[in-house]
Amino acid sequence: MTRSSSYLEAARAGMANACLQKSLRNLQARYGQGALAAWRALPDPDLRRRVKARRMQTLAHLDRLLALLAEGIESRGGRVFFAATAAEANRYVLDLARKHGVQRVVKGKSMLSAEIGIDAVLAADGIEVVETDLGEFIVQIAASSASHIIAPCIHMDRQQIGRLFAGRLGIPYSDDPPTLTRAARQALRHKLLTADMGLTGCNLAIAETGQISLVSNEGNIRMATTLPKLHVALMGMERICATLDDHRDLLQLLTQGAALQKLSTYVSFLGGPRHPGDPDGPAAFHLVIVDNGRSRILADPEFREVLACIRCGACLNICPVYGRIGGHAYHSPYSGPIGAVVTPLLHGINRHADLCRGETLCGACREVCPVDNDLPRMLAALRHKLAYGDPGWQVRPHNRREALGFKLWRWLIGNNRRYEVVFRILRALQRPFVGPQGMIDPRAGGQDGWTGGRDLPPLAAASFRERWRTTLGKGRSRREAERRQEQDHAA
Amino acid sequence: MPLRTAFLDRIRAAVRDTVDDRLSWDALLAPTDDRAIFAAQAGRTREQRMVLLGRLMEQAAPLNLQVHACATLAEAAECIAALARAGEPEFHDRKSLILHEHPLLRALPLDARPELAGIPCHWTSVDDPRGRDHTLAAFVGITVADWGIAESATLVQLTRPGRPRSTSLVPSIHIALLPLPHLVADLAEAYALIRRAPGSDSLVLISGPSKTADIEACMVLGAHGPRAVHLIVLTGPSLAAGPGFPVARTSRRGY
């Protein structure tokens, strides 16, 4: 199965999933619109642009800021590892797990962990890996995958989760969310208390103070970073701010954009292992800073700003495409408009060609983005690369037939006479295909390609130039004739 | 180390084109002038702090953070005892409490509360090997928040020797005490205090009980952390300046 067919299939499956559709409608009505309202109500209307400017300055100094962060953490006895690739990061974490005799890992929600595929690496070594975020836990035991950055199991309803828990946790069937949550709380508490390693992401590190910070509402991340003797945090190299004040601004944009919260229930700041005299906290703390394709994005001024993203998920909550097809079609831990930009940049533009072509470029994601990222511009830039190829990004033209079509178009519009003749013929040919709603039957292309999911307006009865000649043009000649008559009279 | 150097060199090469329009390193990391913030905190009257408390209570309600105003330590002890009496243990059959080793909590007349008879109180300490077990067994954890933030109904809890992270996390009910002078207006004030607090590399901001909305966006309290959080604000005028309390660090460094 090609990526293309899997995108279309997963999109169709998403549109056919009634439970997903209902959840997406609720989510978008509440959080997407809510985030827009929150930005309109900001006391400082310039905040988002100012924060973006700081983000870009931060990226310009990223090398020194990361070094400063590492220095702070190492000064407290923490360890920092710089991983150029997913494989390097996985190898480091696996070696750590082996060295510490780890048998059970409890995870805090981390999209980077899914990006690098650490779970499979640990599991292959016989280590039990347990997701502890409720949504991620549900998705894990259902052998499904997350379909939203913030709400991973949005594609499942309470009945499905009830049946899943009855089968996997051995509880009597219930579809009552509090009962289900309590069952997961009991089951996961045991795992959290007996795990040897906590594995988390990092929402935002602070270079000035040498800390990472993590947000959560459930408290699972606090558990995973407090109870096991070893804490390993995975961090995308761009997830850093220079100062504590930058952190304050970004934190509020993050929790507002994600869930309309002033602050999430918990914001943890961690700068290393437990201090001497601390009764709890991990004895060992390791931060793994991951590149895995990010420096390549950083090097391209056209896409650099996407690294300003703080992964709040607001663009998913507003996007008309994500709102119909859901997250699975994106085939990536990063879905929605942000996923449609970063997934191709991280994992291959040709391989994920459908993502940028599936979005509408309507601009809603830009409007809601807390850091003012111009995602539509970057989606268009990706389409440009797919149309013409780009050796710098190893992109070959995506569709030669499409390219040929555009060449033909150029030839056609190069000469007015030619254009009019061909269009007169096409107008005659299209007649049998115009459907009852006045649109061209989508199967007119004779194949399930570009036309498969789109209705086309038919060619107009006359082109603009033709209308100009026959109607407006006539008006002009009439006026001119009148003027001439007046002049004659005057003479 | 060679890995790290190569990693950072790659980044440096990637941003080479920004050299002309970037801030200087010193400007990027320029310290914030927080003198105005500290002056505002120091100059706040008791009445103004009570207004902040009203703001905190407003913000706390939708977060299910329950705020109790107590004028004296005896009142606070009574409040704690009532909560401990009414609460149901979740993971164990027996009730027990775990308290941070903190002078303010040591000063609470808990022994005098008849409701607590038969409910053991354990204290966190640096070198008690049973500390973890006591925490896991407790159904109520009691701490003293370093600061409270009115704007977002948030507790700031620093990790300190003898004051572990798990006390506010593992028990089903978390009770935090906060002397009124330690209540600040907003996040900006709290961050200014955090920046200057020694050993603030490990801390947590807590805004209400643990919660999740992962199943059909239905809000459920008590996901992994406490199901209930109570904040007891000590409002008595004598408590504000009483001995044994850490006073707000308003002018530690010169200003």
Interface of A with B in 53-112 (CB under 8 A): 57-64, 66-67, 70, 72, 76, 81-82, 84, 88
Instruction: Return the residue matching tokens 């008559």.
Output: A485
Of B2 and B30, the structure prediction assigns the larger pLDDT to B30
Single-letter amino acid, residue A113: S
Tell me how far apart the alpha carbons of residues A28 and B68 are, in angstroms, rounded to a whole number.
Answer: 37
Q: Are A218 and B210 in contact (CB under 8 A)?
A: yes
Compute the average pLDDT of residues B19-30.
Answer: 94
Single-letter amino acid, residue A40: R
Residue B104 has pLDDT above 60, yes or no: yes
Of A128-132, A361-365, A442-446, B12-16, least confident by mean pLDDT is A442-446
Tens of pLDDT along A319-346?
999 999 999 999 999 999 999 999 999 9
Specify the pairing of strand B154-158 against strand B147-149.
Answer: antiparallel
Tens of pLDDT along B198-228?
888 999 999 999 999 999 999 999 999 999 9
Tell me how far apart the alpha carbons of residues A353 and B4 are, in angstroms, rounded to a whole number.
Answer: 33
Q: State both tokens at B185.
A: 């207006």
Give the pLDDT band of residue B153 (cuts 50, 70, 90): very high
**Phi and psi of A272, rounded to 5°?**
155, -165
Tell me how far apart the alpha carbons of residues A93 and A112 are, in angstroms, rounded to a whole number.
Answer: 13
Tens of pLDDT along A166-185?
999 999 999 999 999 999 99
Give the pLDDT band of residue A277 (cuts 50, 70, 90): confident
Q: State both tokens at B47.
A: 């009445």
Question: Which residues are CB-contacts of A291 (< 8 A; sequence separation ≥ 6)?
Answer: A82, A83, A84, A85, A237, B7, B10
What is the model's pLDDT at position A482? 73
**Phi and psi of B67, rounded to 5°?**
-105, 130
Give the pLDDT band of residue A469 (cuts 50, 70, 90): confident
Q: Are A319 and A337 in contact (CB under 8 A)?
A: yes
What is the model's pLDDT at position A473? 67
Compute the average pLDDT of residues A368-372.
Answer: 97
B46-239 is a CATH 3.40.50.300 domain: no
Tens of pLDDT along A228-271?
999 999 999 999 999 999 999 999 999 999 999 999 999 999 99
Instruction: Name the strands in the sheet holding B65-70, side by side, starting at the edge strand that comes first in the sequence.
Output: B65-70, B228-234, B173-179, B140-144, B97-99, B121-123
Question: Which residues are CB-contacts of A401 (< 8 A; sequence separation ≥ 6)?
Answer: none
Question: Which residues are CB-contacts of A395 (< 8 A; sequence separation ≥ 6)?
Answer: A349, A350, A385, A386, A389
> How far A463 CA sits from the closest chain B CA (Å)?
47
Which whole-number Å values give the CA distances from B170 to A314, A440, B207, in the listed order? 31, 62, 16
Instruction: Name the strands in the sheet holding B203-206, side by side, starting at the edge strand that comes first in the sequence.
Output: A240-241, A204-206, A211-216, A266-270, B203-206, B154-158, B147-149, B183-184
Of A49-53, A85-89, B40-44, least confident by mean pLDDT is B40-44
The minimal CB distance from B224 to the residues A27, A211, A220 is found for: A220
Of A489 and A84, the structure prediction assigns the larger pLDDT to A84
Terminal-to-terminal C-alpha distance of chain A: 82
Helix/strand/coil percentages in chain A, nearest 5? 55, 10, 35
Domains of chain A by residue range = 42-296, 400-490
The minimal CB distance from A267 to the residues B204, B218, B225 is found for: B204
A 10 A CB-CB count for A333 gives 21
The minimal CB distance from A269 to the residues B59, B202, B210 is found for: B202
Mutant choice from A280, A290, A296, A316 vs B, greatest count of B C-beta within 10 A: A280
Tell me A32's DSSP state.
I
Which of A298, A398, A397 lies closest to A345, judged by CA?
A: A298
Compute the average pLDDT of residues A88-94.
Answer: 98
Give the pLDDT band of residue B149 (cuts 50, 70, 90): very high
What is the model's pLDDT at position B6? 97
What is the model's pLDDT at position A65? 98
How many contiguous H segments (helices) and E segments (strands) does chain B have?
9, 12
Segment (H or E) for B37:
helix B35-42
Which CATH entry fits the domain spanning A42-296: 3.40.50.10420, 2.30.30.240, 3.30.390.50, 3.20.20.80?
A: 3.40.50.10420
Tell me how far apart the alpha carbons of residues A129 and A191 are, in angstroms, rounded to a whole number.
Answer: 10
**Phi and psi of B235, rounded to 5°?**
-100, -10
Taking CB atoms and an 8 Å cut-off, how many pairs form between chains A and B? 230
Q: State both tokens at A67.
A: 């070094």
Q: Are A153 and B214 in contact (CB under 8 A)?
A: yes
What is the pTM for the complete model shown? 0.90
Give the pLDDT band of residue A457 (cuts 50, 70, 90): confident
Interface of B with A in 111-140 (CB under 8 A): 124-126, 128, 131-132, 135-136
Mutant choice from A58, A133, A181, A220 vs B, greatest count of B C-beta within 10 A: A181
What is the model's pLDDT at position B252? 36
Instruction: Return the C-alpha torsion angle B104, B105, B109, B115, nearest 10.
Output: 150
What is the model's pLDDT at position B238? 56
Give the pLDDT band of residue B243 (cuts 50, 70, 90): very low
Residue A479 has pLDDT above 90, yes or no: no
**Phi and psi of B163, rounded to 5°?**
-125, 80
Question: Which residues are CB-contacts of B155 (< 8 A; sequence separation ≥ 6)?
Answer: B145, B147, B148, B149, B168, B176, B178, B205, B206, B207, B229, B231
Percent of all residues in chain A with a pLDDT value above 90, rounded to a whole number: 81
Q: State both tokens at A307.
A: 């690294």
Domains of chain B by residue range = 46-239
What is the model's pLDDT at position A452? 66
**Phi and psi of A236, rounded to 5°?**
-65, 140
The minimal CB distance from B159 to the residues A67, A208, A281 is found for: A281
Tens of pLDDT along A398-448?
878 878 888 899 999 999 899 999 999 999 988 888 888 888 866 655 555
Contact B224 A57 (CB under 8 A): no
Q: Taking every pair of C-alpha atoms in chain A, what is the biggest distance, in angstroms?
A: 109
Write A384-392 long-range contacts (CB < 8 A, 24+).
Answer: A385/A349, A386/A349, A386/A350, A386/A353, A386/A356, A386/A357, A390/A349, A392/A300
Tell me how far apart the alpha carbons of residues A402 and A386 are, in angstroms, rounded to a whole number.
Answer: 11
Of A1 and A86, the structure prediction assigns the larger pLDDT to A86
Terminal-to-terminal C-alpha distance of chain B: 40
Q: Which residue of A has its CA nearest to B225?
A: A219
What is the model's pLDDT at position A447? 55
Residue B249 has pLDDT above 70, yes or no: no
A 10 A CB-CB count for B111 gives 9
As beta bridge partners, residue A288 has: A81, A234
Q: Are A356 and A379 in contact (CB under 8 A)?
A: yes
Residue A39 has pLDDT above 60, yes or no: yes
Tell me which chain A residues have a C-beta less than 8 angstroms from the C-beta of B36.
Answer: none
Tell me how far apart the alpha carbons of residues A467 and B22 are, in angstroms, rounded to a whole number.
Answer: 54
Instruction: Return the residue matching tokens 């100059």.
Output: B43
Tens of pLDDT along A340-353?
999 999 999 999 99
The minimal CB distance from A278 to the residues B9, B161, B209 is found for: B161
Does A347 lie at the interface with B, CB-CB under 8 angstroms? no
Output the 3-class SS for A290-332. Answer: ECCCHHHHHHCCCCHHHHHCCCCCCCCCCCCCHHHHCCHHHCC
What is the model's pLDDT at position A196? 98
Tell me A458's DSSP state.
P
